[in-house]
């Protein structure tokens, strides 16, 4: 079975939610919508305090190319525009909307012309206007990916259905419940990018999703839509790993997938593209998994962007008494949160809650040079060296040994018997290098 080299096998812990259908969370009374929910430039607000907004209305945008507008996820009144806590750990300008009594009208941002008639640039424009970003976690603006620069040709849209992080089942459920939308969305993305083929990569621990997508793919010729089954291994959902696994090609160093004619889109992103183009629905909600041993009733939910973690968690029976760590994302790459008064953003694929006993605080030993990090690194780096260079402030050597190529997947720190926080050291060194430039 196809896969990439190295990487690790994890305990997946997906059984709590993988069989649970996605349920829509009722619209909250208040949302906090950060104006920076994507890689790229922060948006400027288009509304002011006191304005009435309707669901789906664009409330902030940027003139920069690498950026994506944000939309009101509920109808109501703007009550505050200020810096607020963001799940990435800093404070970022956000728009607060409080719902009034009025009925929610459905806003339409895209005219409902037949999608078949749309030209590539019109699709890209619609994707941009709908504020679509990669829903896998990196939140890179999708319209940018679909616009190949001068002289570059895109051949393949690779749909990422790996969901290699433990616990998370949001993409899995999307694949089972919205297989048709995924394929149609991916075909629209292919038209926008001028690509000829759609390849869907799914790990073999999701047989029902594979079955659903294969049955949808059969409606098209195999030369156009292909479903590739991959061996379950972490971090297969990483762009570079997925391309290696599904297409057996390597993304050149410091390059992008489009340098080898590939664009990777997450399954959720494909659905968002489909909904933006056929229903005129901008990205105002997303599917996420609320799970972990610290959650009473784990669920897969469709949640409005801007809903607070607290409200989402309350809908899942609340926190267990000994809950001690709230993570946005999975256990391998997720970001630990300081509080539950944080809004769900476009990149929130999961809210994972761990208990005290799930988090072992372990003694850190000196590196014993066992080489486990080296033989598990999917990027073929020497992580123990990188950590040592970072520790000693040797940032030049850090860069020379490929520190900037680290994808921070955490395989090294996971297998390290000395429990050295290798990824943390790498992040520190990358940060220091950014500061120096």
> Rule CB under 8 A: which of 257-296 touch another protein?
259-262
Q: Is 358 in the site for another protein (CB under 8 A)?
A: yes
Among 272, 347, 287, 302, smallest CA distance to 38 is for: 347
Footprint of another protein on 211-240 (CB under 8 A): 240
How many Cβ atoms sit within 10 Å of the Cβ of residue 371? 10
What's the rounded Cα separation, in Å, for the pair 392 and 378? 25
Q: Is 190 in the site for another protein (CB under 8 A)?
A: no
Candidate residues 226, 416, 429, 430; the one interacting with another protein per rule CB under 8 A: 416
**Which residues, in sequence order, are bridge partners of residue 229?**
202
What's the rounded Cα separation, in Å, for the pair 418 and 123? 51
Among 175, 148, 149, 142, smallest CA distance to 160 is for: 175
Least gap, CB of 228 to another protein (angstroms)? 13
Buried b (16+ CB within 10 A) or exposed e, 408-425: bbbbbbbbbebebebbeb
Among 254, 162, 145, smallest CA distance to 199 is for: 162
Show the site string, 153-182: x = touches another protein by CB under 8 A, - = not.
Answer: x-xx---------x----------------
Contact 272, 28 (CB under 8 A): no
- Cβ distance to another protein smaller for residue 66 or 253: 253
Least gap, CB of 419 to another protein (angstroms)? 7
**Which residues, in sequence order, are bridge partners of residue 161?**
202
Q: Is 423 in the site for another protein (CB under 8 A)?
A: yes
Residues that bind another protein (rule: CB under 8 A) add up to a total of: 75
User: How long, in residues, is the chain?
Assistant: 437
Least gap, CB of 246 to another protein (angstroms)? 10
Which stretch, 31-39, 54-62, 149-157, 429-437, contacts another protein (CB under 8 A)?
149-157
Q: Is 372 in the site for another protein (CB under 8 A)?
A: yes
Footprint of another protein on 28-47 (CB under 8 A): none
Candidate residues 337, 349, 351, 430; the one interacting with another protein per rule CB under 8 A: 337
3-state class (DSSP) for residue 216: helix
- Cβ distance to another protein smaller for residue 30 or 197: 197
What's the rounded Cα separation, in Å, for the pair 174 and 17? 12
Which stretch, 46-54, 65-73, 272-280, 406-414, contacts another protein (CB under 8 A)?
406-414
């Amino acid at each position: 079975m196809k896969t990439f080299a190295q990487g690790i096998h994890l305990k997946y812990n997906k059984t709590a939610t993988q069989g649970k259908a996605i349920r829509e969370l009722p619209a909250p009374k208040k949302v906090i919508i950060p104006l920076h929910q994507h890689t790229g430039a922060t948006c400027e607000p288009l509304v002011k305090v006191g304005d009435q907004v309707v669901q789906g209305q664009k409330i902030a945008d940027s003139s920069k190319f690498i950026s994506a507008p944000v939309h009101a996820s509920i109808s109501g009144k703007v009550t505050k525009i200020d810096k607020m806590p963001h799940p990435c750990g800093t404070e970022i300008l956000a728009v607060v909307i409080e719902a009034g009594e009025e009925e929610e009208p459905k806003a339409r941002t895209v005219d409902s012309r037949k999608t078949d008639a749309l030209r590539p640039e019109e699709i890209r424009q619609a994707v941009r206007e709908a504020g679509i970003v990669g829903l896998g976690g990196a939140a890179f603006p999708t319209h940018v990916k679909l616009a190949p620069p001068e002289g570059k040709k895109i051949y393949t849209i690779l749909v990422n259905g790996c969901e290699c992080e433990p616990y998370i089942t949001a993409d899995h459920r999307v694949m089972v419940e919205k297989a048709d939308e995924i394929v149609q969305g991916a075909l629209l993305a292919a038209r926008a990018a001028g690509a000829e083929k759609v390849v869907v990569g799914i790990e073999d621990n999701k047989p029902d999703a594979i079955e659903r997508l294969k049955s949808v793919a059969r409606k098209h010729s195999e030369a156009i839509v292909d479903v590739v089954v991959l061996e379950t291994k972490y971090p297969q959902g990483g762009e570079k790993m997925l391309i290696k696994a599904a297409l057996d090609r390597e993304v050149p160093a410091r390059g992008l997938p489009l340098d080898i004619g590939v664009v990777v889109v997450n399954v959720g992103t494909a659905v968002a593209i489909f909904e933006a183009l056929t229903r005129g629905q901008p990205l105002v909600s997303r599917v996420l998994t609320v799970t972990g041993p610290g959650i009473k009733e784990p669920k897969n939910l469709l949640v409005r962007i801007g809903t607070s973690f607290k409200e989402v968690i309350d809908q899942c029976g609340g926190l267990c008494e000994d809950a001690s760590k709230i993570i946005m994302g999975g256990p391998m790459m997720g970001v630990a949160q300081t509080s539950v008064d944080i809004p769900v953003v476009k990149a929130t694929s999961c809210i994972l809650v761990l208990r005290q006993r799930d988090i072992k605080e372990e003694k850190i030993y000196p590196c014993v040079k066992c080489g486990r990090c080296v033989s598990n690194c999917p990027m073929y780096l020497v992580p123990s060296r990188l950590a040592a260079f970072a520790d000693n402030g040797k940032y030049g050597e850090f860069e020379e040994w490929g520190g900037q190529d680290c994808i921070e997947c955490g395989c090294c720190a996971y297998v390290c018997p000395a429990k050295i926080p290798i990824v943390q050291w790498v992040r520190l060194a990358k940060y220091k290098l950014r500061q120096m430039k």
